Structure 1
Amino acid sequence: METPTSASYWVHRLGRRLYNRKSQLLDCCRSRHYDTIQEKHHHHHAYHRVPSPQAQDLLRAKTNEHGQLQCRGCDEITYLLRWAEAERRKDPNHKCTSPKRIIHNSYIELDMCARMSNCDACQVVRRALLLDQITGRDAERLRDMDKQWPVQVALDIRPGGDSLLVTIEKPSGILLFFATVVLSQKPCLAVGKKTKGPSPASMLRPNFEELRRVVANCHDNHQCSSRYRWNSRNPSWLLEILDDGKVRVIPGPSHLVDYVVLSYSWGDPTAMPAEEWARIKGAATKTINGVPVAERTTPFSRSQLPETMQDAIAITQELEYKYIWIDSVCIPKGTDWDTEASLMHEVYGNAAFTLLASSSTKATEPMLHDRLAWLQEPKPCKLRNHFLYNTQKPLHEVRLDPPASQRAWTLQEERLSPRILYWTGQRWYWSCPEYQAVESSPLDLPSPVCVAEEQSWSPPQRFLHVCRIGDFQSIDQEWLDIVEAYTRRDLAHSADRFLAISGLAVRFLEAKLDGGGKTHVSEEYLAGLWREDLARHLSWSVASAVDPKGSHQEVAPSWSWASLPLCVNTKMRHAFKQSPHFQFVGVRQPSSDYTLITPSAPVNREVVTNPRLRSKLAEQHGRTVKQIEVRGRFRRFISENSRDVPWEEIEWQRGDRVGFNFEKYPGQDLHSRNYDDGRIVSKDAHGGEIVGQLDYVFSTGRCFGEKKSKSVALADGEETELMCLELGEMAMLLLRRNPGPEETWRRVGVCIGYEQRKGFFYGCESRTVVLA
């Protein structure tokens, strides 16, 4: 079969014969995706085969002075380029963003222009919108009839280079899609010159040849394995990939083998039919007397597994690996789940690489999708002395966008992996400690924000790197970053709150061990916090007070971030200097005859010398900590004679500036509370104010008929009972005494950075308190 040269050829001729020369494995696996791409594409646009007269006018392409096909809609881009030239004549360093111009009335119209009129600029814009979509479902959303609004472009002028900002938004201003097209006066290829890169046939399927070279280069020339591999143990169970579409579960061999780990999202069980969730759960390997059933240890068809797993197996085999680890399949039911969860640093640290399924939103969706961005062959496009280029989406955006990044379990799967293959709907990304690569076309340019912004984003392997080199200060900062990312994520089972981060906790502890674990270790895991920097860790705050419904105080104590509901934005990092008066006393067992475990308590020698046992027990013990004794300066937060005033009477706003105005209440002690976001203010008569942030909002209606003391939120009127414990030079905990004969205190909020009252704790005595 001859290699076609025209873009329209691929729209009409793309079918099964295109893939007959590909490997039998991928043909079998992807038949549901690629074999019907032409049929699905034309069926979707069947009602647009006869465009309206207005659309026909917009789709009418002509040849411009550069020999490029240009439609009427692209005249708007030319207009913006002329506008930019005029602005630059006035000021060469001028920077601004132009008003938006409509180039097509909908994405479907843009798609038709790119395919039928072969408009070069529209092909670049269409490809930009598709490449910006991470999942296969996102790309399909572009053709959703409910999302067909005008395609607009604006020209962003900057001294470093111009770019087209492509948007699709509703009339109300709600942004649906966004993409960037880079403009350059320097071509990477001459206009009209054919590219020597991949043909559309190969771009429509993943470029495994390029990927194999990238993986082999990392294996042969990098030090990732010698530096970051944890040990020589395999997971307890692996999935062996056999011929003829078969797989089987086997015990991990005694010698380390190259295996791939799948990181993916199971999906939201509340957003899918019960039978679909049952199918995902049914992929788990069952056991009899702790041994996987024969149906799994003997060869079985991979088609029995959900689509994400099937495609992950196909990708793994295409990259010439024989083994893959998938959580629900390789942690059989009945296995000690706590033990397996605490060994995730080994599973991911020893893997050849982690395959992160960024292209699927749930386990029943495929990873391999129609790569519609490559329906036309990429070629140089020039308008008014400017070349239009597609960009490579920055890796940090790829990491944050897909549904997998909203799942709590995937955080440690990513941070514990030395090598990661991010699989998106239109291309793949590779990341290891020494190199990052993107599946590319010959006309790709790096995103203009990559160079400027990438430095502010920690690479995925930074946590492993600082642990390896023993940079303790950076390790502490990395943990704060991990917690901020973790609290924003969701969990199917709230009981896994600590389990889903246990592998990271073990890795953190191992990095802190003195002399490889041969001497006493002073670090201690305390319900998600760490003892050596406990004051800083206690000073976490919520971005805004949250609903107490869903609080996990049955799982974690009030002073731990783990007690918060799921999917909460927290702030862990801020300028902090520990108060010299703060001291950790010890862990307390909650009972009348309590046992205080002090920091100097001896450690069993077997635990210290056996790394696997030590790590497991230390992490498991840390999860169970409920009460700790600390010592620091202690006082009332609000004076006894303070007056409660409405928030709206003291808050001062001028545009973006927000402050407080107390002129209505001269010479008075007062306090106030914002019931919407949980801010609370305390002010002495002749002193400055202190602004605190409560953890939870309180609703009288929600707690009607419930005793105030049972609610984790601070009830109306309880503000005057608040006490505060100094943590840092300008950081304090807000505490409320728990009911009962024992004097214990629960956390209700925090104050950070009270510049107006630096001497708030001056002259106060230190006191030992029990936090619960």
Structure 2
Amino acid sequence: MMETPTTASYWVQRLGRRLNGRKSQLLDSCRSRHYCTITEEHHHQYPYHRVPSPQPQDLSRVKTNEHGQLQCRGCDQITYLLRWAEAERRKDANHKGTSPKRIIHNSYIELDSCARMSNCDACQVARRALLLDQITGRDAERLRDTDNQSPVQVALDVRPGCDSLLVSIDSESGVPLFSATVVLSQKPCLAVGKKTKGPSTPSRLRPNFEELRQVVNNCHNNHQCSSRYRWNSRNPSWLLQILANGKVRVIPGPDRLVDYVVLSYSWGDPAAMPAEEWARIKGASTKTVNGVPVAERTNPFSRSILPETMQDAIAITQELGYEYIWIDNVCIPKGTDWDTEASLMHEVYGNAAFTLLASSSTKATERMLHDRLAWLQEPKHCKLRNHFLYNTQKPLHEVRLDPPASQRAWTLQEERLSPRILYWTGQRWYWSCPEHQTVESSPFDLPSPVSASEEQSWSPPQRFLDVCRIGDFQSIDQEWLDIVEAYTRRDLAHSADRFLAISGLAVRFLEAKMDGGDKTRVSEQYISGLWREDLARHLSWSVASAVDPRGSHQEVAPSWSWASLPLCVNTKMRHAFKQSPHFQFLGVRQFSSDYTPVTASTNLGQQVVSNPRLRSKLAEQHGRAIKQIEIRGRFRRFISEKSRAVSWEDIEWKRGERVGFNFEEFPGQDLHSRNRNDGRIVSKDAHGGEVVGQLDYVLPAGDNHGDKKGSHSVALGDGEETELMCLELGELAMLLLQRNPGPEETWRRVGVCIGYEQRKGFFYGCESRTVVFA
């Protein structure tokens, strides 16, 4: 039956339609007053990326929150987490922990659009945090890659006195791609950064050279860096002079010391770039005729023919008011004595006005100068639910470790030999000298929250120079161990440069160990990357896990030197150590076949006596040529002749994170076992404790015996562990040795044992023996 105006149900339906219509009008009015969306007009204003396609959930619509600031729907998730933290603290005032992640935007592009177009205050802080965390310009570009977008997530890290917002972008499999930290504070505050002058948006796209000039000038005028750390008054053999109109030229180093900048950068991996690109990098080198640079380089030429990293380094140097720059590929002409130049790096870097470290580029053909997209908008106070959000300054030690340049072996000594360093990243610069460290900043930057243990786990890059200057020999020895740990993790384009790329540091170490005022001799001796005065400790290096013997450099260095390892290997150099009273270094037994020792009776030998500079260089060259040394110490078998081989799985014991051994199935038996994956090896006496060692190499899966004529000969084959002997280095440290084939008895290193607390008397009663290490 049809409803009539007089029936009750008719009036109920009509009232419902009127209420729904009124609700719709109210919602439309609210949206028009409080929300905005990204339009095609905005897209034309910012054409450098395309507007993302519509997402299932629109998170970019903004409203004005209770603090009068714009807040998008995505940022409601941050507010939710803040309420969660408040609830947890009501239960426990000292609550600490990390919340689950919540999505604030469907992609970085959506976050970027919301921050720039909708002007959402919190999204501006999150966007800036992600950009500032990227060291290289390429990483910042990866954020905006339209073909690889993932949701932007946040989690709240709650700690007493310091809450942080963890912003991250993960891959589909959950692997973190990008991450950054936003500091939360309940009070408005300003960090040490200075507000820049001039228009906000355009000026911040360029580096803040005004602030940087003040920092550099303050160091040169008010610090003692030059008087304390400058090595001498000599310039490099050749410098690149910066001229007007984009011109440069190669000139001999002037007789008087001039202020010059040194560039430290990564050439790049030739295997990862087109052949023509690598040829362009190599082609930047200066050619010579009869040992003199060609006229094409000594006459003014356009710097545009050089790779992009070099071009931008020249531009930065010129912007800071310097006329000269030293770039290895240009200022070490072809045909130059490379050994000599490499050993003088402590002078090149020590005498420079500062070292410009190109952290922003991954290879020489990439730009150093990029638009500072993090500063498109002037930073301002941002407040959500009574919390102020602040961007952080990435700690310097993370900046040092992250960029590709830090993976290059040559840059280690370039950094450690430089009193002043300007780290140039994609979005800001960092300055470090012995007296001051600072970063290009804004008035709303805060230092990253760093725990006391993290603060103590790293040292400034100038520490090596500092301990060398004051003559703290114990610290110098420890610094060398730290240097080697960092060095063995790095890569080299040419393995033959294994010693050359660290030779400047070795020469500086030698100079620090001079006998008092006697500049003609030193008590120390360089021995294939190790040092005589603490040789037992230096011999006790170990690998974190056994490595593939393919790539071993035993043609470059002897087995007992860390330099014989493959490239990019994690080593452990520092551990509690007390030298055994039975250990003795007897002397050098053999040099490489192509080495000619210098004697005092020769003309060159007489020059060494009167020229400390030449003496140090030749002492380093002498040391890297050593192939055999003679050692005396307590000596014995590692595994007893009656020992039984058992599988690793039969004796390994695990309880959660605790790992040990369980020998209860083999009572009263001598046992030994090897872990085929990581190279651990164990020897146990029937009624005594076990000794656990670490082998240097492990054979690839399926290769049980190795190729005795090739590089596999450095690894143990099946059953060869029973032939191992060991020599005591320290109270709880020994070398594992295998005899080399041949009529002469020499031994090669295959591993090490450190800290065998279960068998402290392992060498008790053993006789000392003289052993030749090869």
So what's the TM-score if we normalise by structure 1? 0.91
C-alpha distance after superposition, 1:707-763 (max 9, x if no partner): 389611111110000000000000000000001111100000000000000000000
Structure 1 residues 98-497: aligned runs within 5 Å: 98-188=99-189, 199-449=200-450, 453-497=454-498
Answer yes or no: is the 8 Å Cα contact 2:60–2:118 preserved in 1. Answer: yes
CA distance in 2, matches of 1:128, 1:630: 56
CA distance in 2, matches of 1:757, 1:596: 44
Shift of residue 195, structure 1, vs aligned partner: 8.9
Structure 2 counterpart of 1:714: 716
C-alpha distance after superposition, 1:437-477 (max 9, x if no partner): 10001111111117663332110000000000000000000
Relative to structure 1, the CA distance from residue 200 to residue 511 in structure 2 (aligned partners, 3 Å threshold; closer, same or farther) is same
Q: AA paired with 2:759?
A: R
Q: AA paired with 1:647?
A: W
Structure 1 counterpart of 2:753: 751
Q: AA paired with 2:447?
A: P
RMSD of aligned residue pairs (Cα, Å)? 2.5
Q: Are 1:44 and 2:52 counterparts?
A: no
Structure 1 counterpart of 2:506: 505
CA distance in 1, matches of 2:75, 2:467: 50
C-alpha distance after superposition, 1:109-136 (max 9, x if no partner): 1111111211000010000000000000
Shift of residue 186, structure 1, vs aligned partner: 1.1
Answer yes or no: is the 8 Å Cα contact 2:249–2:297 preserved in 1. Answer: yes
CA distance in 2, matches of 1:136, 1:223: 34
Structure 2 counterpart of 1:655: 656
Answer yes or no: is the 8 Å Cα contact 1:536–1:576 preserved in 2. Answer: yes
Answer yes or no: is the 8 Å Cα contact 1:698–1:716 preserved in 2. Answer: no
SS at match of 1:588: strand
Q: AA paired with 1:123?
A: Q
CA distance in 2, matches of 1:740, 1:653: 43
Shift of residue 704, structure 1, vs aligned partner: 6.5
CA distance in 2, matches of 1:356, 1:731: 39
Pick from 744, 763, 772 the counterpart of residue 770 of structure 1: 772
Shift of residue 156, structure 1, vs aligned partner: 0.7
Shift of residue 654, structure 1, vs aligned partner: 1.1
Answer yes or no: is the 8 Å Cα contact 1:678–1:696 preserved in 2. Answer: yes
Moved more, 201-210 or 250-259: 201-210
Answer yes or no: is the 8 Å Cα contact 2:182–2:389 preserved in 1. Answer: yes
Answer yes or no: is the 8 Å Cα contact 1:730–1:755 preserved in 2. Answer: yes
Answer yes or no: is the 8 Å Cα contact 2:77–2:102 preserved in 1. Answer: yes
CA distance in 2, matches of 1:128, 1:202: 19
Answer yes or no: is the 8 Å Cα contact 1:696–1:712 preserved in 2. Answer: yes
Moved more, 510-519 or 239-248: 510-519
C-alpha distance after superposition, 1:52-71 (max 9, x if no partner): 2645x311100001011000
Shift of residue 605, structure 1, vs aligned partner: 6.4
Answer yes or no: is the 8 Å Cα contact 2:706–2:717 preserved in 1. Answer: no
C-alpha distance after superposition, 1:28-63 (max 9, x if no partner): xxxxxxxxxx999624225x2xx52645x3111000
Answer yes or no: is the 8 Å Cα contact 2:541–2:573 preserved in 1. Answer: yes
Answer yes or no: is the 8 Å Cα contact 2:55–2:106 preserved in 1. Answer: no
Q: How many residues align?
A: 728
Shift of residue 434, structure 1, vs aligned partner: 0.0
Shift of residue 171, structure 1, vs aligned partner: 3.5
Relative to structure 1, the CA distance from residue 97 to residue 652 in structure 2 (aligned partners, 3 Å threshold; closer, same or farther) is same
SS at match of 1:698: coil
Structure 2 counterpart of 1:77: 78
Q: Are 1:737 and 2:739 counterparts?
A: yes
C-alpha distance after superposition, 1:148-169 (max 9, x if no partner): 1111111111112101011111
CA distance in 1, matches of 2:330, 2:596: 42
Moved more, 87-96 or 338-347: 87-96
SS at match of 1:117: coil
Relative to structure 1, the CA distance from residue 54 to residue 195 in structure 2 (aligned partners, 3 Å threshold; closer, same or farther) is farther
CA distance in 1, matches of 2:652, 2:249: 65
Answer yes or no: is the 8 Å Cα contact 2:82–2:385 preserved in 1. Answer: yes
Answer yes or no: is the 8 Å Cα contact 1:355–1:420 preserved in 2. Answer: yes
Answer yes or no: is the 8 Å Cα contact 1:76–1:103 preserved in 2. Answer: yes
Relative to structure 1, the CA distance from residue 595 to residue 440 in structure 2 (aligned partners, 3 Å threshold; closer, same or farther) is closer
Relative to structure 1, the CA distance from residue 704 to residue 678 in structure 2 (aligned partners, 3 Å threshold; closer, same or farther) is closer
Answer yes or no: is the 8 Å Cα contact 2:631–2:772 preserved in 1. Answer: yes
Q: AA paired with 1:641?
A: K
Q: AA paired with 1:76?
A: Q
Percent identity over paired residues:
85
C-alpha distance after superposition, 1:208-231 (max 9, x if no partner): 000000000000000000000000
Q: AA paired with 1:542?
A: V
CA distance in 1, matches of 2:353, 2:41: 39
Structure 2 counterpart of 1:5: none
Relative to structure 1, the CA distance from residue 195 to residue 635 in structure 2 (aligned partners, 3 Å threshold; closer, same or farther) is closer
SS at match of 1:145: coil
SS at match of 1:373: helix
Moved more, 511-520 or 321-330: 511-520
Answer yes or no: is the 8 Å Cα contact 2:699–2:706 preserved in 1. Answer: no
CA distance in 1, matches of 2:518, 2:722: 48
CA distance in 2, matches of 1:268, 1:160: 45
Relative to structure 1, the CA distance from residue 564 to residue 169 in structure 2 (aligned partners, 3 Å threshold; closer, same or farther) is same
Q: AA paired with 2:461?
A: P
CA distance in 2, matches of 1:41, 1:509: 58
Relative to structure 1, the CA distance from residue 40 to residue 287 in structure 2 (aligned partners, 3 Å threshold; closer, same or farther) is farther
So what's the TM-score if we normalise by structure 2? 0.91
Moved more, 217-226 or 194-203: 194-203
Moved more, 534-543 or 448-457: 448-457
CA distance in 2, matches of 1:615, 1:595: 16
C-alpha distance after superposition, 1:262-310 (max 9, x if no partner): 0000000000000000000000000001000000000000001000000
Moved more, 143-152 or 295-304: 143-152
Structure 2 counterpart of 1:587: 588
Q: AA paired with 1:587?
A: V
Q: AA paired with 1:301?
A: S
Answer yes or no: is the 8 Å Cα contact 1:517–1:609 preserved in 2. Answer: no
C-alpha distance after superposition, 1:687-716 (max 9, x if no partner): 100000000002374477733896111111
C-alpha distance after superposition, 1:313-353 (max 9, x if no partner): 00000000000000010000000000000000000000000
- Structure with max Cα Rg: 2
CA distance in 1, matches of 2:551, 2:45: 43
CA distance in 2, matches of 1:555, 1:320: 43
Shift of residue 369, structure 1, vs aligned partner: 1.0
Answer yes or no: is the 8 Å Cα contact 1:589–1:596 preserved in 2. Answer: no
Q: Are 1:619 and 2:620 counterparts?
A: yes
Q: AA paired with 1:305?
A: L
Q: AA paired with 1:722?
A: L
Moved more, 646-655 or 312-321: 646-655
Answer yes or no: is the 8 Å Cα contact 1:197–1:441 preserved in 2. Answer: no
Answer yes or no: is the 8 Å Cα contact 2:705–2:716 preserved in 1. Answer: no
Shift of residue 655, structure 1, vs aligned partner: 1.1
CA distance in 2, matches of 1:68, 1:88: 26
CA distance in 2, matches of 1:614, 1:518: 9
